[in-house]
Amino acid sequence: MARSPYTRFKKPGQRAKPRKLEEPLHIQIVDYLELAYGNRQDVLFLHVPNGGSRHPAEAAKLKRMGTKAGVFDLLIFRGIFPHWLEVKFGDNDLSDTQKGHLLVVERLGHRWAVCWTFDEAKVIIDGWLK
């Protein structure tokens, strides 16, 4: 039986991570950000490329360059105020590493949210940026 292209290899007993299933939602959210807020001078948004499959040497290099595990997917600024958005799919929840990042974000006084659908993301983003 062929392996689904939408899941990564997993260790026995470990649930597969449907990262590829999150990608269309993530892209839809960024498209919305571009359309609704791309021309605003006081708004900046970017993707934090922590996920994905990488060769171990590339992963080690990125770690030495400052890549941090658990950092949320999108960083959105309105003026000097940062907002973190994590995109999830299905029944996925925050990993323990992401929960650790969340504690740092809260300690710094930044806003954050987790979304599972485009409609959730739109409400969150509009609340932060309008």
pLDDT tens for residues 28-87? Answer: 999 999 999 999 999 999 998 877 777 888 888 888 888 888 999 999 999 899 999 999
Residue 123 has pLDDT above 60, yes or no: yes
Instruction: Indicate the pTM of the whole model.
Output: 0.80
Average pLDDT of the chain to the nearest whole number = 86
The H or E element that residue 104 is part of is helix 96-107
What pLDDT does 24 receive?
A: 94
> 3.40.50.1820, 3.40.1350.10, 1.20.1250.20, 3.40.50.300: which CATH number matches 19-129?
3.40.1350.10
Q: How far is CA 13 from CA 10, 16, 69, in A?
A: 8, 9, 22
The string over 104-124, giving b where at least 16 C-beta atoms fall within 10 Å of a residue's C-beta and e elsewhere, is ebeeeeebebbbbebebbbeb
Q: Residue 11 pLDDT more than 50?
A: no
Asked if residue 7 has pLDDT above 50, the reply is no
Q: What is the pLDDT of residue 13?
A: 53
Binned at pLDDT 50, 70 and 90, residue 129 comes out as: very high
What ranges do the domains of the chain cover? Answer: 19-129
